[in-house]
Chains A and B, each alone.
Chain A
Protein backbone atom coordinates (compact mmCIF):
# COMPACT_ATOMS: atom_id res chain seq x y z
CA UNK A 1 0.00 0.00 0.00
CA UNK A 2 1.43 3.33 -1.07
CA UNK A 3 -1.27 5.64 0.26
CA UNK A 4 -2.06 6.81 -3.26
CA UNK A 5 -5.60 5.96 -4.29
CA UNK A 6 -7.16 6.25 -7.72
CA UNK A 7 -10.77 6.07 -8.82
CA UNK A 8 -12.43 4.47 -10.55
CA UNK A 9 -10.44 1.26 -10.98
CA UNK A 10 -12.05 0.43 -14.31
CA UNK A 11 -13.99 2.49 -16.80
CA UNK A 12 -15.51 1.97 -20.24
CA UNK A 13 -16.22 4.98 -22.43
CA UNK A 14 -17.34 5.54 -25.99
CA UNK A 15 -15.19 7.27 -28.59
CA UNK A 16 -15.78 11.04 -28.51
CA UNK A 17 -16.81 11.13 -24.86
CA UNK A 18 -15.00 12.87 -22.03
CA UNK A 19 -13.58 11.22 -18.91
CA UNK A 20 -12.33 12.37 -15.51
CA UNK A 21 -9.98 10.24 -13.44
CA UNK A 22 -9.17 11.03 -9.81
CA UNK A 23 -6.15 10.61 -7.61
CA UNK A 24 -5.68 11.12 -3.90
CA UNK A 25 -2.01 11.62 -3.09
CA UNK A 26 -0.09 10.31 -0.12
CA UNK A 27 -0.26 12.51 2.94
CA UNK A 28 2.32 15.29 2.84
CA UNK A 29 3.08 14.90 -0.86
CA UNK A 30 2.66 18.12 -2.83
CA UNK A 31 3.51 16.86 -6.32
CA UNK A 32 1.31 14.66 -8.48
CA UNK A 33 2.27 13.15 -11.83
CA UNK A 34 0.11 11.29 -14.31
CA UNK A 35 1.26 8.51 -16.62
CA UNK A 36 -0.37 6.54 -19.42
CA UNK A 37 0.57 2.90 -19.87
CA UNK A 38 -0.50 1.12 -23.03
CA UNK A 39 -0.55 -2.67 -23.05
CA UNK A 40 2.95 -4.11 -23.13
CA UNK A 41 4.64 -0.74 -22.80
CA UNK A 42 6.23 1.20 -19.95
CA UNK A 43 4.35 4.15 -18.45
CA UNK A 44 4.57 7.41 -20.42
CA UNK A 45 4.62 10.76 -18.62
CA UNK A 46 1.57 12.95 -19.28
CA UNK A 47 2.05 15.89 -16.92
CA UNK A 48 2.92 16.93 -13.39
CA UNK A 49 1.30 19.30 -10.92
CA UNK A 50 2.97 21.11 -8.05
CA UNK A 51 1.05 23.44 -5.75
CA UNK A 52 -1.93 23.46 -8.11
CA UNK A 53 0.11 24.50 -11.16
CA UNK A 54 1.17 22.34 -14.09
CA UNK A 55 4.97 22.32 -14.07
CA UNK A 56 5.90 19.76 -16.67
CA UNK A 57 4.22 18.05 -19.59
CA UNK A 58 5.02 15.13 -21.83
CA UNK A 59 4.13 14.66 -25.50
CA UNK A 60 0.36 14.58 -25.10
CA UNK A 61 -2.21 16.77 -26.88
CA UNK A 62 -4.16 19.55 -25.13
CA UNK A 63 -7.26 17.37 -24.83
CA UNK A 64 -5.38 15.82 -21.90
CA UNK A 65 -5.72 18.29 -19.04
CA UNK A 66 -5.54 18.22 -15.30
CA UNK A 67 -6.15 19.91 -12.01
CA UNK A 68 -4.59 19.80 -8.60
CA UNK A 69 -6.58 20.87 -5.56
CA UNK A 70 -5.44 22.60 -2.34
CA UNK A 71 -5.34 19.22 -0.58
CA UNK A 72 -2.98 18.04 -3.36
CA UNK A 73 -5.45 15.57 -4.81
CA UNK A 74 -5.66 15.65 -8.60
CA UNK A 75 -7.81 14.99 -11.63
CA UNK A 76 -6.93 13.94 -15.15
CA UNK A 77 -9.44 14.94 -17.82
CA UNK A 78 -9.43 13.59 -21.34
CA UNK A 79 -11.75 15.11 -23.96
CA UNK A 80 -12.81 13.67 -27.31
CA UNK A 81 -11.73 10.15 -26.41
CA UNK A 82 -10.04 8.08 -29.10
CA UNK A 83 -9.65 4.32 -29.27
CA UNK A 84 -5.88 4.70 -28.68
CA UNK A 85 -6.59 6.34 -25.33
CA UNK A 86 -7.40 2.88 -23.99
CA UNK A 87 -4.72 2.29 -21.37
CA UNK A 88 -3.87 2.07 -17.69
CA UNK A 89 -3.65 5.59 -16.22
CA UNK A 90 -1.32 5.89 -13.28
CA UNK A 91 -1.01 8.63 -10.72
CA UNK A 92 2.15 9.12 -8.67
CA UNK A 93 2.69 11.41 -5.72
CA UNK A 94 5.94 12.68 -4.28
CA UNK A 95 7.54 15.52 -2.41
CA UNK A 96 9.55 18.13 -4.26
CA UNK A 97 13.23 17.39 -4.80
CA UNK A 98 13.38 14.24 -6.91
CA UNK A 99 12.36 11.99 -4.08
CA UNK A 100 10.86 8.62 -4.81
CA UNK A 101 7.42 8.61 -6.40
CA UNK A 102 4.63 6.46 -5.02
CA UNK A 103 2.18 5.11 -7.56
CA UNK A 104 -1.46 4.24 -7.23
CA UNK A 105 -2.99 1.06 -8.61
CA UNK A 106 -4.17 2.85 -11.73
CA UNK A 107 -7.42 3.27 -13.63
CA UNK A 108 -7.98 0.93 -16.55
CA UNK A 109 -9.75 2.94 -19.27
CA UNK A 110 -11.28 1.19 -22.25
CA UNK A 111 -12.57 3.27 -25.15
CA UNK A 112 -14.96 1.49 -27.50
Chain B
Protein backbone atom coordinates (compact mmCIF):
# COMPACT_ATOMS: atom_id res chain seq x y z
CA UNK B 1 0.00 0.00 0.00
CA UNK B 2 1.08 3.54 -0.67
CA UNK B 3 2.61 5.31 2.34
CA UNK B 4 1.47 8.74 1.20
CA UNK B 5 -1.74 10.75 1.38
CA UNK B 6 -2.62 13.32 -1.26
CA UNK B 7 -5.72 15.35 -2.03
CA UNK B 8 -7.82 13.77 -4.75
CA UNK B 9 -7.94 16.85 -6.95
CA UNK B 10 -6.84 20.47 -7.20
CA UNK B 11 -7.36 23.38 -9.56
CA UNK B 12 -4.83 26.04 -10.45
CA UNK B 13 -5.08 29.13 -12.65
CA UNK B 14 -2.73 29.22 -15.60
CA UNK B 15 0.42 31.22 -14.83
CA UNK B 16 0.04 30.84 -11.08
CA UNK B 17 2.07 28.56 -8.84
CA UNK B 18 0.62 25.11 -8.21
CA UNK B 19 1.36 23.79 -4.74
CA UNK B 20 0.67 20.07 -4.35
CA UNK B 21 0.83 18.72 -0.80
CA UNK B 22 1.74 15.22 0.29
CA UNK B 23 1.62 13.63 3.71
CA UNK B 24 4.08 10.84 4.52
CA UNK B 25 4.02 10.76 8.30
CA UNK B 26 5.46 7.23 8.56
CA UNK B 27 8.48 7.88 6.34
CA UNK B 28 11.69 6.15 7.42
CA UNK B 29 15.13 7.68 7.59
CA UNK B 30 16.31 5.85 4.48
CA UNK B 31 13.30 6.74 2.32
CA UNK B 32 13.35 9.37 -0.37
CA UNK B 33 10.33 11.38 -1.54
CA UNK B 34 9.73 11.04 -5.28
CA UNK B 35 7.23 12.85 -7.47
CA UNK B 36 5.96 11.60 -10.80
CA UNK B 37 3.15 12.85 -12.98
CA UNK B 38 1.01 11.16 -15.58
CA UNK B 39 -0.53 13.12 -18.39
CA UNK B 40 -3.61 11.50 -19.89
CA UNK B 41 -2.85 8.40 -21.98
CA UNK B 42 0.89 8.57 -21.31
CA UNK B 43 3.29 6.76 -18.99
CA UNK B 44 4.33 8.41 -15.71
CA UNK B 45 7.06 11.03 -15.97
CA UNK B 46 9.70 11.61 -13.30
CA UNK B 47 9.66 15.14 -11.85
CA UNK B 48 11.96 15.37 -8.85
CA UNK B 49 13.07 13.59 -5.69
CA UNK B 50 14.69 14.47 -2.38
CA UNK B 51 15.73 13.09 1.00
CA UNK B 52 15.57 16.00 3.45
CA UNK B 53 16.82 19.12 1.73
CA UNK B 54 14.71 21.20 -0.60
CA UNK B 55 15.36 20.46 -4.24
CA UNK B 56 14.81 22.41 -7.45
CA UNK B 57 15.14 21.50 -11.09
CA UNK B 58 13.87 22.84 -14.39
CA UNK B 59 10.42 21.38 -13.82
CA UNK B 60 9.60 22.00 -10.18
CA UNK B 61 10.68 22.58 -6.60
CA UNK B 62 10.31 20.12 -3.75
CA UNK B 63 9.93 21.42 -0.22
CA UNK B 64 10.29 18.81 2.54
CA UNK B 65 9.41 19.73 6.12
CA UNK B 66 12.11 19.48 8.74
CA UNK B 67 10.48 16.44 10.36
CA UNK B 68 10.12 14.93 6.84
CA UNK B 69 6.50 14.00 7.51
CA UNK B 70 5.16 16.05 4.63
CA UNK B 71 6.27 17.73 1.44
CA UNK B 72 5.02 20.11 -1.22
CA UNK B 73 5.67 20.00 -4.93
CA UNK B 74 5.67 23.45 -6.47
CA UNK B 75 5.15 24.15 -10.16
CA UNK B 76 6.12 27.84 -10.24
CA UNK B 77 4.15 28.93 -13.31
CA UNK B 78 1.55 26.32 -14.20
CA UNK B 79 0.56 25.92 -17.84
CA UNK B 80 -2.30 23.99 -19.42
CA UNK B 81 0.20 21.24 -20.26
CA UNK B 82 0.76 20.67 -16.55
CA UNK B 83 -2.73 19.22 -16.24
CA UNK B 84 -2.06 15.67 -15.05
CA UNK B 85 -2.24 13.25 -12.13
CA UNK B 86 0.65 13.88 -9.73
CA UNK B 87 1.96 11.03 -7.60
CA UNK B 88 3.96 11.43 -4.41
CA UNK B 89 5.93 8.27 -3.57
CA UNK B 90 8.27 7.33 -0.75
CA UNK B 91 10.98 4.91 -1.76
CA UNK B 92 13.54 3.12 0.34
CA UNK B 93 17.17 3.49 -0.54
CA UNK B 94 19.30 0.41 -0.99
CA UNK B 95 21.85 -0.86 -3.45
CA UNK B 96 19.31 -2.41 -5.80
CA UNK B 97 16.31 -0.75 -7.31
CA UNK B 98 13.13 -0.75 -5.28
CA UNK B 99 9.73 -0.55 -6.95
CA UNK B 100 7.62 2.57 -7.03
CA UNK B 101 4.46 2.22 -4.95
CA UNK B 102 1.85 4.51 -6.46
CA UNK B 103 -1.28 5.72 -4.70
CA UNK B 104 -4.13 7.41 -6.52
CA UNK B 105 -2.34 10.75 -6.75
CA UNK B 106 -3.71 14.27 -7.11
CA UNK B 107 -5.48 15.23 -10.29
CA UNK B 108 -4.30 18.77 -11.06
CA UNK B 109 -6.40 20.79 -13.47
CA UNK B 110 -4.80 23.98 -14.79
CA UNK B 111 -7.49 26.39 -15.89
CA UNK B 112 -7.07 29.16 -18.46
Residues of A within 8 A of B96 (CB): 50, 55-56, 96-97
Contact B100 A45 (CB under 8 A): yes
CB contacts between A and B, total, < 8 Å = 70
Residues of B within 8 A of A7 (CB): none
Counting CB contacts under 8 A, is A2 at the interface? yes
Smallest Cβ-Cβ distance to A6: which chain B residue: B43
Contact A33 B99 (CB under 8 A): yes
Residues of B within 8 A of A44 (CB): 102
Q: How many residues from A make CB contacts under 8 Å with B?
A: 30
Contact A50 B43 (CB under 8 A): no
**Shortest Cβ distance from A59 into chain B, in angstroms?**
10
Residues of B within 8 A of A55 (CB): 96
Residues of B within 8 A of A103 (CB): 43-45
Interchain residue pairs with CB less than 8 A apart (7) = A2-B45, A4-B43, A56-B98, A56-B99, A98-B91, A103-B45, A105-B41
